[in-house]
Amino acid sequence: MRSATRLLSLFIFMVVAARAGESWNVKDAGAVGDGKTDHTAMFQRLLDEAGKAGGGVVNVPAGRYAIKGTLSVPAGVTLQGTFRVPPTIQRNAARELSGSVLMAYAGRGQEQGAPFIRLAGNNAAISGLVVSYPEWKQTDVPPVPYPPCVLAQHAENVGIENCLLLNPYEGIKLVHAARHLVRNVTGYPIKRGIYVDECYDIGHIENVHFWPFGVHYKHDDPYCKWINTQGVAFELARTDWHYVFNTFCFGYGIGYKFSETKAGSANGNFLGLGADSCERAVVVEQAQRPGLLITNGEFVGRWGSKDAVCLEIGTNAVGKVSLVNCSFWGPIDRCVWMRSPSGQFTASACNFVDWDVRGAGSPAIQLDAGRAIVQGCTFEQEGPHVQIAKPVKSALLIGNQAAGGFEAENHAGKRTQLSANEASPAEWTAEAKKNYCVVVGAEGDSRYLRGWHGRERAMRWSTTESLLRLPVVPDEPYTLTLKLTVPKAAVSPDAGLYLDGKRVAGFEAGASTLTVELPPARAEQLTLKVICAGWTPSRLNPASKDDRTLGVQLSDITMRAKGAGQRVFQANTGEWK
């Protein structure tokens, strides 16, 4: 009797197990995949059958399946297409849409409508699919809103894998979806790529690549510019111990946004983040006190932008933001902007290649408040490298190397500590300060210039207001000589050289040399302002593509104190001649 009972139990177990592993095929159920026939009802019927059976796989063979409604994937069910790698598409060529393609129509113009696919229960998943929006047009600016392409809410262990989301308005939204796995996903979501909130148990986002798939990309195209200023690729609100690995985005207003909702903010581990052509590569509005640990990040400013910042830490952030082995390059104004009085920022072994794209004297790292440690970093341009504002509570700048010597603009007094940083090659003795020259346009000139355009052919152009910062011996009068070129377009009634708000010399069109007698200064540095009328080469000459605002052209600076010797100190290199 017991043997029969055992056999019956084993039989029931095998039946249940078999049904749990069952699969369904949409083509076996009559799907044609012709891109025209609405398959919503039939797909949903198979998904529901799989859910009632305790779980299973609904297979979607290659074809184009019009879905004019919405789909709900029950607990334990996977909607499975043909792809086993993340699919992509180049440009907007319909013929490239092969494999398992779901064509989404529902919700056009209704951002708050039902999602195209809802992962409605624990362990629900989609895999191997392309989701396209046939009514999408690149000429629609602003873009037409849709509900989220994929939503999971109050469902755990959901998965999205090996999928291409082709131009959805919002890609993936995960709310109260603990232990989710988003892996091998590509696409170019418009307003937002992935949003996570109320994830109280470790979620994973891996190998997600948001790039202009299916879009004719130009940085000044109205559609691309909309995404490049308004769109967000990744946004994390309340998440605990989140893991984000090897992800990339291109052409967004914000690459990675750490925000706060009523549920709270994020902490987590972020390895191998990439953000190219972003107005803000990373924005930290808030973070939990355990912090955001960002390693091996690569961050690039937005193409065509003059005010891109790679990492901006907002005024309300309280958690630590830690960067290790990250790199910054491209058209960037500032690499890091730390604004939080209560937060802490650390950069270790990072490489800062480019910044100050406007030539306005912006630093690589701007510290407005809070606490910061910058250690063991390299800076490939001349300074300023770190600017420390008066409200900063503590700044430790240790063991950094920089072209022309590490330079910190310190306004926080003793709250800033500098140690073992690479020194400038110029050793400023009293004799050196009395008779020296600066070759403008040569390496080493940046310490003495602020707000000038970049070097070109042994000279630099000023902007409408640029500065000269010149070492002096206190209480000594000087003769300043500038070798320059003054275009007629740069001359205005107030154009000239200013000291302490008073004009000490005017500019004359065609002038090539300007000599000025300067009174004794009390400090060891004298700051002069160059003011002129701004002009744009492309406006004066239609053949020019130079749209910069220029002023005067400067090639050489000579400072000589009264009674100085014959030797001249070369301020760029620290040598005598």
Interatomic CA distance for residues 507 and 485, integer angstroms: 10
Number of H helices, E strands in the chain: 5, 48
Cα torsion 30, 31, 34, 38 to 10°: value is: 110
* Statement: residue 20 has pLDDT above 50: no
Which residue blocks in 456-522 are alpha helix, DSSP H?
Answer: none
Q: Reduce the secondary structure of 504-564 to three states and give it as a string.
A: EEECCCCCCEEEEEECCCCCCEEEEEEECCCECHHHHCCCCCCCCCECCEEEEEEEEECCC
What band does 454 get if pLDDT is binned at 50, 70 and 90? Answer: confident
Q: Which of 374, 400, 279 is nearest to 334 (CA)?
A: 279
Neighbours of 146 (CB within 10 A): 26
pLDDT given for residue 383 in this prediction? 80
Q: Where in the chain is the domain with CATH 2.160.20.10?
A: 20-230
Interatomic CA distance for residues 564 and 23, integer angstroms: 92
Rounded mean pLDDT of the chain?
93
Interatomic CA distance for residues 317 and 339, integer angstroms: 9
3-state secondary structure of 221: coil
Which of 2-6, 23-27, 186-190 is the least confident region? 2-6
Pairing of strands 553-561, 478-485: antiparallel
Pairing of strands 460-471, 525-531: antiparallel
Q: Where in the chain is the domain with CATH 2.60.120?
A: 430-576
pLDDT digits (tens, 9 = 90+) for 410-444: 999 999 999 999 998 888 999 999 999 999 999 88
Q: Which of 481, 498, 503 is nearest to 558 (CA)?
A: 481
Backbone φ and ψ for 282, nearest 5 degrees, come out as -135, 130
In Å, how far are 168, 249, 382 from 99, measured between CA atoms?
19, 24, 52
pLDDT given for residue 246 in this prediction? 98
* Statement: residue 145 has pLDDT above 70: yes
Inter-residue contact 393 to 416 (CB < 8 Å): no
* Statement: residue 273 has pLDDT above 60: yes
* Statement: residue 493 has pLDDT above 50: yes
pLDDT digits (tens, 9 = 90+) for 366-391: 999 999 999 999 999 988 899 999 99
Give me the CATH code for the 430-576 domain, please: 2.60.120
Mean pLDDT of 311-339: 97
pLDDT given for residue 446 in this prediction? 87
pLDDT given for residue 95 in this prediction? 55
pLDDT digits (tens, 9 = 90+) for 159-197: 999 999 999 999 999 999 999 999 999 999 999 999 999
pLDDT given for residue 13 in this prediction? 33
Q: Choose between 387 and 16: higher pLDDT.
A: 387
Q: Which of 40, 45, 183 is nearest to 114 (CA)?
A: 40
Place of tokens 């989710």: 180
Mean pLDDT of 288-311: 96
pLDDT given for residue 426 in this prediction? 87
In one letter, which amino acid is 298?
Answer: E
Interatomic CA distance for residues 258 and 280, integer angstroms: 12
Which of 303-307, 311-315, 377-381 is the least confident region? 303-307
Quick one: tokens of 401? 């190397």
* Statement: residue 220 has pLDDT above 80: yes
Inter-residue contact 43 to 32 (CB < 8 Å): no
3-state secondary structure of 391: coil
pLDDT digits (tens, 9 = 90+) for 503-539: 999 999 999 999 999 999 999 999 999 999 999 999 9
What band does 91 get if pLDDT is binned at 50, 70 and 90? Answer: low
pLDDT given for residue 10 in this prediction? 33
Mention every residue, 6+ apart, whose C-beta is less than 8 A from residue 161.
125, 126, 127, 128, 181, 182, 183, 184, 185
3-state secondary structure of 375: strand
Q: Residue 129 burial (CB < 10 Å; 0-12/13-18/19+)? A: buried
Interatomic CA distance for residues 354 and 498, integer angstroms: 30
pLDDT digits (tens, 9 = 90+) for 34-52: 999 999 999 999 999 999 9
Quick one: tokens of 306? 């003059």
* Statement: residue 71 has pLDDT above 80: yes
CATH domain 20-230 topology: Pectate Lyase C-like (2.160.20)
Length of the chain: 577
Interatomic CA distance for residues 272 and 387, integer angstroms: 27
Q: Which of 388, 387, 386, 392 is nearest to 341 (CA)?
A: 392
Neighbours of 52 (CB within 10 A): 12
In one letter, which amino acid is 319?
Answer: G
Place of tokens 């393609």: 101
In Å, how far are 126, 137, 233, 500 from 132, measured between CA atoms?
15, 12, 18, 62
